[in-house]
Amino acid sequence: MGEELQALRSIIDEKTLSILETLANEDGELYLRELAVKAKVPPATTHRIIQKLLDLKIIEKTEIKNLKIYKLSTTKQADFLKKILYSKVNPLDMFLTKLKQVSGVDLAVLHAKAQKSSAFVLVVGDELPIIKINDLSEAIEKEHGFKIKILPLQHDQYDMLAAGHTGYKKVLYRKE
């Protein structure tokens, strides 16, 4: 996506692109002032850009009495832009990338569906460096506000647990 983003940067002015990036990476709707602050664009300029994006049907406006809130629309054009501009990092993916580099880890299993701010991961190996794994988890929580609860297990413990568990589980990593 790097080439597409570079192309956008060359044809769309920096302030409009900043507003689009902010909206593409936002889970909910934003007030004009919130959008201006997050995009680091003056409110008057944000208002002008919003009007242009509304006309192009790239963003949507919701009015609640005197309040107006904005979000990226669900049009094909907006979806295309979101694919290029979306840059939120998945904290669980970051954790897994680092976990794969830890010696002794043979398997990582998501032991229930990940929530918005937390996940429960079984880490399996016969000689796990538990302190190092907990440090990785704490670093992710500190940086992203996402809590990864770790349950370190040896292979035989995991086999017993897996045999009796009928709920959701997803293998995130298996050492080859």
What is the reported pLDDT for 100? Answer: 94
DSSP helix/strand/coil, 137: helix
The full DSSP string for 73-107 is --SHHHHHHHHHH-----HHHHHHHHHTTSTT--E
What is the reported pLDDT for 88? Answer: 67
Q: Determine how β-strand 30-31 pairs with β-strand 107-110.
A: unpaired
CATH number of 2-85: 1.10.10.10
Mean pLDDT, consecutive 10-residue stretches, the chain (176 aa), reads: 70 90 88 94 96 94 93 90 80 92 94 87 94 95 89 94 84 91
What is the reported pLDDT for 95? Answer: 94
d(CA 87, CA 116) in angstroms, rounded, equals 17
Measured between alpha carbons, how far apart are the two ends of the chain, in Å?
29
Angstrom CA distances, 88 to 22, 139, 152, stand at 10, 17, 28
What is the reported pLDDT for 86? Answer: 78
What is the reported pLDDT for 133? Answer: 96
d(CA 73, CA 61) in angstroms, rounded, equals 9
d(CA 27, CA 17) in angstroms, rounded, equals 18
Q: Which of 63, 80, 75, 69 has its CA nearest to residue 26?
A: 69
Contact 101, 88 (CB under 8 A): no
Domain definitions of the chain by residue range: 2-85, 91-174
As given in the structure block, the two tokens for residue 53 are: 């994006």
| Residue at 106: amino acid letter | D
What is the reported pLDDT for 5? Answer: 66
Q: Answer whether 0.85 is exceeded by the pTM.
A: no
Q: Which CATH number fits domain 91-174: 2.60.40.180, 3.40.367.20, 3.30.460.10, 3.40.640.10?
A: 3.30.460.10
Which residue carries 């907006």 as its tokens?
A: 78
